[in-house]
Structure 1
Amino acid sequence: MTNGNRPIRAYIVDDNVEAIEVLQRILEANHPVEMAGTANDGLTAIDQVVALQPDIIFTDVEMPSMTGIEFCRAIRNEVSPDTKVVFYTGHDKYMIDALRQQAFDFLLKPCSPEDVAMLMMRYYENKLSTVPALSAAAIPRHQSILVVNAMSEHIVLQAPDIAFFRFNADRKLWEAVCCNGDTYSLRTRTNSDVILDYSTDFVQIHKRYIVNVLHVKMIQNSLCILNEPLQDIDELKVSKNFKRSLLDAFYAL
């Protein structure tokens, strides 16, 4: 988990009790999150939030005593700069105001577990980006790849265990497919250049595919055939723009 192996502490502000219960249930059932507290109006929440200093705050926008935007302004200088505020509302017309208030993210009601999972993934990635990087002199070439999944599990994949990468157009992110068939989503800011920099064994064959050349058994009719047990995968088509570099890497083995 993040935050020194303790759960993420969340606080929810919403005048709709049922909405609080739904979001709390999704967070606690699917993520390493504990509730620091809840409130049904912004005025009550201000003092509690200042005292509790939660890691992430979910606030509705339309509330009787004050709006979520006013609440956000009131606590801005009273909480840690690392505290993230998520506007949680049924009205997408507030999105521009949310961005202007520098809210970390925006969640529309009614939210699904998948919506919350994507939001939490961005939260974990943001936390990870604040970890100081090792110097380039210490590690001139990456040999492992860090994956952070929606459960805040930090998984390290070793380059030799990865058979290929593919770009998931629906989710707009790269995935690593391992030799055992397991698939892992990479961090959203990972692009093809980042992947290729991990290892000289990674070779791009298509705008959507990068293969580990060590696991390529043959190149047949512009198709990469992998070693067992992935020999039946037939999606690794080689585009003309990348064929020369693939052949060079393959025959250099």
Structure 2
Amino acid sequence: MFGRKQLTSVYIVDDNSDAIEVLRRMLESQYSVKVIGTSTDADTAIEEIIQLAPDLIFTDVEMPTMTGIQLCQLLHQEVDPNTKVVFYTGHDKYMIDAIRQKAFDYLLKPPSPQDLAQTMTRFYEDKLASLPQAAGPAEQRQPRILVVNAMNEHIALRDADVAFFRFDADGKHWEAVCTNGSTYILRSRTNSDFILRYSSSFVQIHKRYIVNVSHIMMIQDNTCILGYPYEDNRELKVSKNYRRDLMDAFYTL
């Protein structure tokens, strides 16, 4: 409809799978849009949104584990303040909250073709207007990793913040060990494959360790030694099965 060569990436969050499919069909059949992800669970959605970095997010408001308002607030505070979030809900009582959270738009369910057209037109116009101020490669949005602290608060870390990941066999979860000495627990469903997809800087060196190769000072026999900011040159064991991948990643830095 808008004749744009590059598809706009969209993520949809709604605890009603039927509503997701209705919106998906409306978007992909009428606009240059690719729905790159959907979720009926807000917690899962946050992790995937951080990883996929969609151009536009549509979210319901009333959901079991987290409201769309809370999701928007978390994304704006911990991930990117410029994240474009459209609320679509069966109630107009959340409109003031949406405005306070700087939502990009607010639609009532089911969205009419006319209302959706206004939202998408505004999105394309806004995107076009921002092109002259597009960020350079060093300023573009960096991948973030979602972690949970002891207070059960969500925190998004840049890949550069993490020195290595350690698997806690007793707790059956991965932990992110940061360069500032802090340790954060990742969600129990987060496995090694999921961590490795976040950044090419992350390389598995042992069944218990995934290291950020940017922080490796040297590799000696079956040990990798982390440099700054570790004054004691933190050492991590390297398994034979993972040594070749580590060496390849280290020498291509």
Q: Name which one, 1 or 2, has greater alpha-carbon Rg.
A: 1
TM-score between both structures, scaled by the size of structure 2: 0.49
TM-score between both structures, scaled by the size of structure 1: 0.49
